[in-house]
Structure 1
């Protein structure tokens, strides 16, 4: 077949054949995929004109002048017109589909929008954030949690905790959990049954040989320090290797038969406001609690007032990751699982305002406290 509409109508000589023997073969059309819409329309209109003319001629002929014959001719014309219209409309549909007449621009627009959206997400650094962040946080906690420890401060009953609460500016005493008299002696003592548990905090291993970093106020005035390590039934008796009250840092040491899991100390200078951060600690005695937030600000100064006077701390990291009493000394981690801060203080008059000592300020102090490079 060629790409033209073919008219296979066999004309009938009305004068030679009677009405009963006149036969009209149907019109047959073949659509060529290269036909344009205008050509289809012209062919359709021409065919309708032919059908109309033939209907009129048959109605006026001798054998077609009878009323039944006229109705029969008109019915044939209507059926033929319907078939022609159906074929033409099908041709229009086929042509539009082949040429993407209606969907081509939409597909291109969708593709362009998708590309632009992906480019914007990549530029903002948020590609598949909802999936990757959740997976990263779970992985960070799983890897980091074994290196986080619970620290218990035991003192003589006559001694106080040494840290006030609700100091100037509403900053709570750096998050150490004070214990009531009912809690006294619940973990016992190797030296004396008179020692009582004065408070608890958090720390983490930064060397596999057993070196632990925490806040100085967590172990302040302690007669004995015990460390509970994940996977061990009994706590370790810890040695306080060194303290620095100005930076609120302390290093402890415990000994074990196997290497301890550690956390890598990262560079807080490489962090940016809005980065995801993860805090792991023991708030109010709830061991190994993870909270998540973002880095809210950097270079924050705060002043803490207690019975020893005012203490000014500068260059702190601010975060909305929940930090409560008992989180003190615990790690503030980035999305790669590196320590970028040591959780230290919380504003008791607000929600979501916590502070951590940045790792960029502790490297030299750590060397001094440990006695070697770390």
Structure 2
């Protein structure tokens, strides 16, 4: 052995080899994770400060928002009564079945009671509450329970709109109530953090956090066609419907409305901009006057473009004109291809529908169209949809 090593005590040599081995192992371990972000649960520049996993958000911001807003979030219970005793009732009421038993009352019909659960939030201190129309649809009785209270207040429906899936309720609590403000959903961006509060599966005031995953999502749920939903990965489940989706200012940017039954972590909310545009009508008129042109539309295909001599596939083909509707009164016909609406180009049927929906009922609009290869225009008066 080299004389240098002979002069070093054996214990120090062992310690040195162990230390070297640990260094090599540490380098190998770090190298196996090359390319992954370096995370720490402590702030490296300020060792005494807790690590914040949400950049730009203070560690107390979300709890503060929840604490401030939760008193304005309510639980909505509904009751619906219907006649009939159960699954056997149709058989006993069927004439073919009853002929074997005469007209005796084999199974007296008993009323059935259906119960529903949803969420909502208070928008004015005198007790006006926003929720989804599908939460209270068909209800014979509606009760609202405030946060931290056992007492349920009877609620009356002030106004609702099935197409928009919005409803306004009113309770009389005998005192001023906490409220939550409506924010600007138009300014929210994909990737912005949002907070959902509601009563999923009856678990009162459950809080979930996520981001805006997409904007302007169309979606069909049963017989409802939504046009412009916010998509979020903040968990939304049955019972969350009607509850608020909040930005980090504690403002409502959406009303939690629907989930994708085939996927986890995909929920949808009605933008607050939609609510703002119709709230006064819901309160003062009990409903919303939907602008209506009175046509059924289809997309322009290559075959249609060639047949009608169109230069491209833009526009909306009129498949049917409703008799007595605004389009019929203006002289539009089946087979006309609408290419312009009140100064805006029409790219497809959905584009035209959006333009009509943004028109005030009673307004006169210029409609440009192509008929048998010739460009024409008419003036139509937009009416309210019955």
What TM-score, normalized by structure 2, do the two folds share? 0.52
Structure-2 separation of matches of 1:365 and 1:195: 35
Q: Which of 209, 229, 232 does residue 319 from structure 1 map onto? A: 232
Task: Spell out, residue by residue over 1:329-355, the C-alpha distance to the aligned partner (whole angstroms, 9 max, x if none).
Answer: 000000110000000000010011100
Q: Which of 60, 74, 78 does residue 135 from structure 1 map onto? A: 60
Structure-1 separation of matches of 2:260 and 2:59: 28
Equivalent residue, structure 2, for 1:354: 267
Task: Spell out, residue by residue over 1:85-123, the C-alpha distance to the aligned partner (whole angstroms, 9 max, x if none).
Answer: xxxxxxxxxxxxxxxxxxxxxxxxxxxxxxxxxxxxxxx
> In the alignment, does 2:129 pair up with 1:216?
no
Gaps of 5+ in 1: 1-126, 160-193
> In the alignment, does 2:174 pair up with 1:257?
yes
Structure-2 separation of matches of 1:365 and 1:158: 35
> In the alignment, does 2:142 pair up with 1:225?
yes
Task: Spell out, residue by residue over 1:220-279, the C-alpha distance to the aligned partner (whole angstroms, 9 max, x if none).
Answer: 000000001124331000010011001000000000221110000000011111110000
Structure-2 separation of matches of 1:318 and 1:338: 17
Gaps of 5+ in 2: 1-51, 85-110, 286-386
Equivalent residue, structure 2, for 1:333: 246
Structure-1 separation of matches of 2:83 and 2:194: 40
Equivalent residue, structure 1, for 2:151: 234
Relative to structure 1, the CA distance from residue 262 to residue 135 in structure 2 (aligned partners, 3 Å threshold; closer, same or farther) is same
* Ranges of 4+ aligned residues in structure 1 off by more than 2 Å: 127-134, 194-197
Question: Matched residue of 2:66: which SS?
Answer: helix
Relative to structure 1, the CA distance from residue 141 to residue 129 in structure 2 (aligned partners, 3 Å threshold; closer, same or farther) is same
Structure-2 separation of matches of 1:264 and 1:329: 15
Taking CA–CA contacts closer than 8 Å with sequence separation of 6 or more, which of the two structures ends up with the larger relative contact order? 1
Relative to structure 1, the CA distance from residue 260 to residue 329 in structure 2 (aligned partners, 3 Å threshold; closer, same or farther) is same
Question: Matched residue of 2:155: which SS?
Answer: strand
Q: How many residues align?
A: 211
Equivalent residue, structure 2, for 1:152: 77
Equivalent residue, structure 1, for 2:284: 371
Equivalent residue, structure 1, for 2:213: 296
Which one has the bigger strand percentage?
2
Structure-1 separation of matches of 2:54 and 2:270: 28
Task: Spell out, residue by residue over 1:2-22, the C-alpha distance to the aligned partner (whole angstroms, 9 max, x if none).
Answer: xxxxxxxxxxxxxxxxxxxxx
8 A Cα contact 1:274 1:296, kept in partner: yes
Question: Matched residue of 1:274: which SS?
Answer: coil
Question: Matched residue of 1:132: which SS?
Answer: coil
8 A Cα contact 2:83 2:112, kept in partner: no
Structure-2 separation of matches of 1:196 and 1:143: 36
8 A Cα contact 1:212 1:253, kept in partner: yes
State the 1:197 CA deviation: 4.8
Matches within 5 A, 1:199-214: 199-214=116-131
Equivalent residue, structure 2, for 1:268: 185
Question: Matched residue of 1:322: which SS?
Answer: coil
Task: Spell out, residue by residue over 1:1-51, the C-alpha distance to the aligned partner (whole angstroms, 9 max, x if none).
Answer: xxxxxxxxxxxxxxxxxxxxxxxxxxxxxxxxxxxxxxxxxxxxxxxxxxx
Task: Spell out, residue by residue over 1:139-168, the C-alpha distance to the aligned partner (whole angstroms, 9 max, x if none).
Answer: 110001000000011110438xxxxxxxxx
Relative to structure 1, the CA distance from residue 148 to residue 195 in structure 2 (aligned partners, 3 Å threshold; closer, same or farther) is farther
Question: Matched residue of 2:122: which SS?
Answer: strand
